[in-house]
Structures are given as structure tokens and as C-alpha cells.
Amino acid sequence: MTAQSSVNLQNKPFYKFLPYFLTKLRFLRPQMIMTGIFALLSYPLVGFFVNMWLDAGIRVYELRASQNYAAWEMQNAMNAANMAQSLATMSIVIGLICLVGLFVFTFVTTLRAFRYLYNKNAVDMDYALPVNHNTRFFADLAAVFTTSIIPHFISVIIGVIFTNVISEKAKVYVGAMNIEIVETLTSIVLQCMFVGLFACFMQIAFSLLMISTSGRKAVAAVFPVLINIAIPIIHALALFITENNTYGSSSYGETIFYPATATSPVGMLAISVLFCINFLVGGLYSNSSNLIKLDSTLPIWRVDYLVLAILLTIIFFVGAYFLIKFRRNERVGNAYVFKGMSVIIPGIVVLAMSLPMWNMVFAPLAKSRQNNSQNDAMAWIMGLLISTFIVYVILELISGKAFRKFHLTVAKWAGSVVVCAGITAVFVFSNGFGKAEFVPAPDKVACAYVYVMGDYNKYPDKNTSFSIYDTTDKDTITEIIELHKKVPKYKTEDASDFEISLSYLLTSGELVSRNYLISHELYSEIMTEIVTPENWYEGNFGSLERALDETGAEVGQIILGEINDSSDPKYSAANEVYLKPSEFDVNRFLEAIRKDSEKMNFELYWNNREKYVCTAEIIIRNKTTKDKHTYHYFVEGWMENTIAFIENCVTSQA
Amino acid sequence: MIEIKNAVMQFDEKNALDGITLSIPAGCAYGLLGSNGAGKSTLLRLLSGIYKPASGEVLIDGNVVFDNAAMKERVFFINDETAQFNNMTLTDMKNYFKRFYGTFSEELWQKLYSTLNLPLKKRLSTFSKGMKRQAVVICGIACKTPYLFLDEAFDGLDPTMRIIVKQMLIDAMMDTGLTVIFSSHNLGEIDEFCDRVGLLHAGKVVFDRELDSVKGSVFKIQTAFDAPVTKDSFAGIDVLHTENTGSITHLIVRGEREEVRAAVEKLSPKLYDEVPLSLEEIFIYEMEVLGYDSSKLG
């Protein structure tokens, strides 16, 4: 026997990287096959069948257009189109299932590749090999990417090609009118594909971070899923609770939940789906001039959310790298390799459950919600305690607890519930963490809206409400912001029958809406400032003026009518008078109104509720878009120039 | 050369290894003895770089093993479980180790394989426990690492296969100067195979000596006296165990034979006879002193 002499062996950073990577890749072969199947049956399958459907549809369209076809030829084309439609529908259903499969298998692959984190035998197998932490971590990660992300990426690339082909064909098929819709849809589909890919990427990082704290298979398999779901719930609820309990907050839409797109893989997918549903249902076919101009960019592709998501993904990876590096292998077999996790992880699940229930208990106590009833508090607390206790016990069972020290489980649960109450209270009583005082800077506002109103029942004969609607004019925006600054951002004693609503669409895409009760004095002051000839004219006639300026616009018909008893009998002759554009020059009508509007002020406005002499209904058609809009106006007694113009028209026609 | 200096390993705040210090020369066949839970497997995992000591040092050839890939390439560890290889065939397993150990000898593997009767293409999950052991052992030997650590290596092997595997290890030691550490509860095997043994109990080293020295220092005396004697009668002698059968007193003593004989003869025995002990008997008596006593069952 020969004795081994002492040797100095340096630890090379990526020693045996390739053999280890190839070994792991071979180990992940079943996952790779499954991922490949899912990838193939998602975008490529859907793209292929939708493309086929479109081709069949175009064939029918072309036959119809040619008007020279045999009946059997059309019948065959229709049959082919119907069959292609069924196949496309089927492929979409399968595709969606497979996309879920891709997302789930990304987690399964990560779980399997890093099994030495929770499997004692695998610890011996992997850690006894001549590889170091760097080799093991990065080679395993590379194997997960190769297994999960590469097939997914190839599928996305095929999907992008199909989408563009389909889009180009669809543009021809749908005609010029709907090209914008096709382009928007194409953009959303392409964005969604990359959201799916990014979500899977983040899923690897997130799952790895979670698995690196686990020491048992059940914990490693179940808890990352639970936390992945809990985080977007917590994030969205925190945003909702904060917003809802901010003094003056109103009319927040689903946009307040959008930040949750950046903090977890499930959140990224859920918010993207929410956005798509909202966009397709509410936005695609709507051409109304809402304050919320729907942007077709998915929230995750907004720079701030994207940067946050990338940053968090990097943090997850770096966190996992160091947790795995410093974890103690001998703790594998325990539920958690880091002791604090046995409190933190179930605590996160309890937080997701208890946030809404604690909010129901605390919200009535918040200053901003003094009118709410506290009668339900006991019921919510009971429900909270029972539901969280049951879930907590189940989580402990998953962790492998045999409940020999059941009192410890009860103590941990009670502690979690108390901490969750504290966290909820912070959100409820924070008054929006300063958001209540927030007034945007004029250069950060893309569009603004203000609506001032009084109690109709108290002032039935007065014009109490006035609005500046969706203004993009910088001076008007500045004016609105100055008004906002004057409004107290807390509940005042003299605030009574008057309200002011302010909404801003910020250049970042965020919607800020506030609604405050204000005093009569402040109401008068604000109305004096905003009821100006320009604002009154723009608010009433701005849209008609813009419609007339549009390419292809033409005046259809003008109907003058007397509506009710308050109308001056002098103009009763104008009741239901139909005029042609040649008999009623709309531009001259607007000129007369503009001249009259010079008299407009708060006093005139306040005292002239429904004191009109006749109505004017102007129909504007657009030859290009075939759109038709009816503009309805009250001609009031003080509008001398306008009345004179109308009288002249009626007389000429007679 | 393996050096373990004050190594501590903790499992849930309990010390599995409690400041162990050991020195194992290269080329040695070292047998690790100990009760269940004494820390044998933990020690082997420390030496293989699977675990990192909570404190203290584990050095092989002067190098830290944990997370040192180049050092680990000189160590092969066969644990007491083989389930991790269940999805592999024997060929897969051979190729698996071949990829990681640059010193792997295909020729040696073929030679070792030819002495066994193992299927090449069947998954290890279909193998019996003993067959799995044979598979891992031939791979371990074929890797030709200077250090080979075996945890319960002969567990599951039939008597014939034990002889074959033992011979394989002896050949490897002769050919390459392989240092072997193996833990076993079969003390007969350690007795036959090892030239040095260490006894662990409750995470501490009870002794670490040459096997001959262990066997020479603990022995049995059969003696008889006119008057009755107790354990206290043998002051100055390290008596591990006493037993009286009629007029014959059986003593298990630890120490130098001459010194023990001189001490006993002062009591004028009618009979004095030294009987050598097997390693298993030494283990049992040493453990009895430490309170690990089978007689408690009775």
C-alpha cells in the first residue's frame, strides 16, 4: 500500500459543469418530453388551425365577392369553413390547457431538478459528486431552462410567426374599418405569449427560492404553490384596502390591482388575464371618449412593473443561490431547513386569508369610513378565527407535524392571526400612506376631469352641477389641480351638500380619482373659477365642433323642438321643425353660441336650470366610418344671438 | 491522510458528533464501530463533503472537503441506501460515475463486473438489495479514487458475495493504496478486514487504535480464589466486566497484560488463565462501560 501525499487542490468555480448539466438533463427527460408536448399543442397548434379557419373563411368571402360561383362550390367552402372553425375552437381549448400545463410543468421541472433540497437520498447522491455549489446550482438551473423555457420559447416563436400571418390575412378579410381592431388584437396576443414565457421564467426563480427553504417533498411541492397564489392575493388586497380606506378615494377600477402583476408569477398571469378580459369586453369596440383611454399594453410591459418584475426575479435567483449555499444538508428531512420559515410560510397563507376579513372589522373604525356599521365585526372575527385555524392545522399536517406539541401549533396560529391583524390595521389606518394628500403635478397628468355638484333635492331650481370633461389642455389641467389643492383632504365640519369629483389619468397610465364633500363657500369659489365662457362652451359644444372637423363629416338633419311647459310660448312654432343643412348652418349656429357664451358665469349658470326655449338636435354622419351621432342641446332664454339665429332659420324655411 | 479536528455536527441542537478528533493514515483499512445513532454515518458524510461541520475541521490530504470539487474527486462514498439510483441501469450507473471521476477505469470495471452476475440493462429498482450493493461497490472501486468510504457496505450481501466484495477491496488496496473506511455492525468483518478501528458512542470517540492493539489491550481472565472476591477487590485494574460461575471468576480487563497479571497474582489466585476476546466481545464490554448494556433487557 502506498500512502497518499498531501496535495493542494484548488476549488475551481465551474468544475465538471458539462457532465453535471448533461446528467441532470438526462434525469429531466420525462419533464422535457411533457413540456415539448405542451409547447407543441399550444401556440403552434392554435396558430395552425386558426390560420386554416381564416383561409377557409377567406375562400367563402372571395366566392361571395366574385358573385360567380356554383351553389355546390359555395356549399363546399361553407362546410370547410365550419369544420375549420370547430377545429380552431378545439385547438384554442387544448392550447389554453397546454399553456396551463407549461406553467405547471415549469414548477414540476424545477422541483425535480433540485430534489436534493428535500430528498435525503438525493443529498447523498448529488453532494457526494465532485462538483461544487456553483456547478450544481448553475448546471441545474441551465437544465431547468433547457427543459422548460427552450421548448416554450420555440413555441412562442412559432406562435409569433402564425400570429403575424393570421393578422395580415385577417386585415384583408375584415376590411379597412376593422384594421385597427385586428392590429390591437394582434398586439395583445403577441404580448400575452411573452407574458406566459416571462411568467414561467419568474416561476423558476420563485419556486426555487421557496423550495430552497423546504426540507421535505410535501412541503417543497405544496407550499411554493400556496405562496405563489397567496402573494398576488395579499398584494391586490393590500392595494385595495389601502385605496378603499384613503379619504376621498373613489371610482378606482381594476387598474389599482395592476402592480400585483410584477410581484409573483401567478400575479403576472392573473393580472394579464384580467386586463385582457377588461380590454376585450370594455375597450376594443368602444369608441366613447372615456377618461380611461384604454391602452392595449399589458400591465407587465409597463416600464415600472417590468423593471420591478425583473428585479424581483433576479432577487429570487440570488436569494435561492445563497440560501442553497448556506443551508445545512443535515436538516433535509425536516419540514423547513431554516427554522423561521415554519412561522413565516404558514403566516403568509393566513395573511392572504385574513386580510379581507380583518379589513371588514377595521374599516368601519377608519376615519374615512365613519358611516359604516360595526355590527358585522363579531361575525367576521369568528369566521376569520375558524377558517384560519383549520387551514393552519392542515398546513402543519403537510409539514409533517404529529401534533405531539399541539399547543405550539395553536400558539403559532394565534401569533399569526395577531400579526395579520396588525398588518391589516396598518393598511386600513394609513390613509393611503400619504395618498390622501396626493395632488399630481400638472406635467404628470395626461388627462383630467372635474365634476362639481350640489344636492338636487335641496336646490331643485338651480343648476348645481358643472364639469370639465376629459381635458387634455395643459392650462385647464393646471387649473383643475389648483382647485384640488384648495380642497381639504380630510373630513371637515362644514362639508355638507356639495361634492367635488376629480379624476386624473396620469402619464404613467395610473388613474387617480378623488371625491370630497365640500362647504357651500368652497363650492361657490370653485364654481366661480370653473364656470367660464370657455369651459361652458367646450363642455357643451366642443365635441360637436370636433365632430364637424373630422374627415368625411357631414351634417345630416336638424330638428328643433319645444319640449316642456317652461319653454317660451313665443317659440312654439319651432316645435318639431325639421331643417336641412342648407337651411341651418351649424357653423353659424356655433358662432352664435360662442358669442352668447361670453356672458357665461357662475351666477347665470346657477339660475338657469331648465329654462330653455327650445331644443336643437343635430345629426352628424361620417361618410368614411359610417358613424352617426346625434347632438342634443337646450337653447336657453339668455342666449339671444342663438335664438335670433334659430328664428331666422325657421322663418326662412317657412 | 485524513484529519478530523474537533468536528461538531448538530441535528436539531443535539450534537451528533461532539468535538471529534481523529487521524487516519493513508492506505489504511479503517473500521468504524459504534452503537446505532453513534454518528458513524454522519462522520462518513462529513468526510465525503456532504455535510459541513458546525465547527472544527475535516481535512483530507490537507484540503477541506466540503464544496471542494477537486478534493471530492478523490473520494467515493457509498451510503447505506441505494434508492437514489433506482431509475438507472447498471450501464447508466457506470456511465454516470465515469462522467464525474476522471480516474474511472473501464477495464477495471469490466474485470469486477465479470465476477458478478448482474444484468446490465435492467433498472436498479428491479435489483435486490445485495445486487444494488454489488453494483455500487464495483463502480466505487472502478472510480479508483484514493479514498473509499462505505456505510454498511456488506449489508444485504450473501456470504459468498461478501467474500468476493471483500477480496475486491483488498485487491484495490494492494494495487492503488486505497484508503478504506467502512462502518459496519458486523464486527467479524471489521476484525477480518481492518487494520485500525475507531469506536464512536454518542458522538464521541471512545477509542481509535490499531486493531491488534485493541485486541491486545482488552482480554478475558478466568480466575479462582479461596475467598469470594468482588469487582472492588481488583483495585488498580481497569475491569470492564465481572462474572462468577461457581468458583470461577471471569474478568474482562483493559490494560497491559503483564501489569494486570501482576495485580491479580497479588490476590493469590488458585487459577489464572488469559482468554483472547473477539472484536465483538470487546465492543459489547466497552459499550457496557458506557451504559449501552444489553443486560438491561433482562
How many whole angstroms separate alpha carbon A94 and alpha carbon A39? 11
A9 touches chain B (CB under 8 A): yes
Question: Do B196 and B221 fall into the same domain?
Answer: no
pLDDT at A645: 85
Chosen domain end from A409, A434, A459:
A434
How large is the greatest C-alpha to C-alpha distance in chain B, in angstroms? 72
Asked if B3 reaches chain A (Cβ–Cβ under 8 Å), the answer is no
- B287 and B187, same domain (yes or no): no
DSSP A525: H
Grid cell 389601502 is found at A242
A185 located within any domain: no
What is the Cα–Cα distance from A642 to A638, expressed in whole angstroms? 9
Contact between residue B248 and residue B261 where contact means Cβ atoms under 8 Å apart? no
Evaluate whether residue B210 is within a structural domain.
Answer: no
Q: Are residues A539 and A526 in the same domain?
A: no
CATH classification at residue B187: 3.40.50.300
Count of the separate structural domains present in chain A = 4
Q: Is the pLDDT of residue A244 over 60?
A: yes
Residues in chain B closer than 8 A to A9 (CB atoms): 61, 63, 68, 70-71, 74
pLDDT in tens, A180-196: 888 888 999 999 999 99
Calpha distance B242→B239 (Å, rounded): 7
Task: Please check whether residues A317 and A363 belong to one and the same domain.
Answer: yes
Residue B282 belongs to a domain: yes
Q: Do A23 and B99 touch (CB under 8 A)?
A: yes
ipTM of this predicted structure: 0.85
Q: Tell me the average pLDDT across A296-306.
A: 92
The reply to whether B238 falls in a domain is yes
Domain final position from B202, B237, B254: B202
Predicted local confidence at residue A574, as pLDDT: 46
- Of B202, B234, B267, the last residue of a domain is B202
Residues 6+ away with beta carbon under 8 Å from A322: none
What's the average model confidence in pLDDT over B216-220? 80
Average pLDDT, rounded, for chain B = 86
Stretch A110-134: mean pLDDT: 93
Evaluate the CA torsion angle A600, A606, A612, A615 in order and state its sign: positive
pLDDT at residue A89, rounded to an integer: 95
B208 part of a folded domain: no
Q: Count up the domains in chain B and report the number.
A: 2
| Full residue range of the structural domain in which residue A144 is found | 11-174
Helices (H), chain B: 40-47, 69-72, 90-100, 106-114, 129-142, 159-176, 187-193, 211-217, 257-265, 279-289
Same domain, B34 and B109: yes
Is A550 found in the same domain as A623? yes
* Range with the poorest average pLDDT among A317-331, A508-522, A527-541, B120-134: A508-522
Position A287 pLDDT exceeds 60: no
Are A336 and A286 part of one and the same domain? yes
Measured in whole angstroms, how far is the alpha carbon of residue B111 from the centre of its chain?
Answer: 27
Residue A525 CA from chain centroid, whole number: 37
pLDDT of residue B15: 85
pLDDT tens string B253-269? 888 888 888 888 888 88
**What is the average per-residue pLDDT within B54-76?**
92
CA distance A41 to chain B (A): 29
pLDDT for B234-253, tens place per residue? 777 888 888 888 788 888 88
* Pair A343, A416: CB distance under 8 Å: yes
Domain that holds residue B175: 2-202
Residue B297: its pLDDT value, please? 47
Where residue B13 falls among pLDDT bands split at 50, 70, 90?
Answer: confident
Grid cell locating A483: 382647485
For residue A291, pLDDT beyond 50: no
Average pLDDT of chain A is: 86
Q: Which residue of A has its CA nearest to B98?
A: A19
Last residue of a domain, one of B202, B232, B250: B202
Please give the grid coordinates belonging to residue A343.
412561522
Please tell me whether residues A127 and A232 are part of one structural domain: no
The answer to whether residue A93 scores a pLDDT higher than 80 is yes
The number of C-beta contacts closer than 8 angstroms across A and B is 117
Q: C-alpha grid cell for residue B161? A: 458475495
Q: Quick one: B133 and B236 in the same domain?
A: no
For residues A80 and A128, membership in a common domain is answered with yes
What is the structure's pLDDT at A9? 59
Sheet strand arrangement including A466-471: A466-471, A445-454, A498-506, A511-518
For A590-631, write each residue's pLDDT tens digit.
Answer: 899 999 999 999 998 888 766 666 778 888 887 776 778 888
Q: Which three cell numbers stand for residue B115?
A: 465476477
Structure-model confidence comparison of residues B201 and A221, the more confident one:
A221
Are residues B193 and B226 located together in one domain of the fold? Answer: no
Q: Could you tell me if B122 and B173 lie in one domain?
A: yes
Examine residue A205 and state whether it is found in any structural domain, yes or no: no
The residue out of A434, A466, A497 marking a domain boundary is A434
Per CB-CB distance under 8 Å, the chain A contacts of B25 are 3
Residue in chain A nearest B25 by alpha carbon: A3
- CA A297/CA A412 separation, integer angstroms: 43
Q: Which of A47-56, A148-157, A195-204, A287-296 has the lowest mean pLDDT?
A: A287-296
- Give the B window 113-142 contacts with A, CB below 8 Å: none
Residues 328-347 of A with CB under 8 A from B: 328-331, 334
Question: Do both A87 and A148 map to the same domain?
Answer: yes
Distances, alpha carbon A48 to alpha carbons A53, A189, A194, A568, B123, in Å: 9, 15, 19, 68, 41
Measure the CA–CA gap between B173 and B29, rounded to whole angstroms. Answer: 8
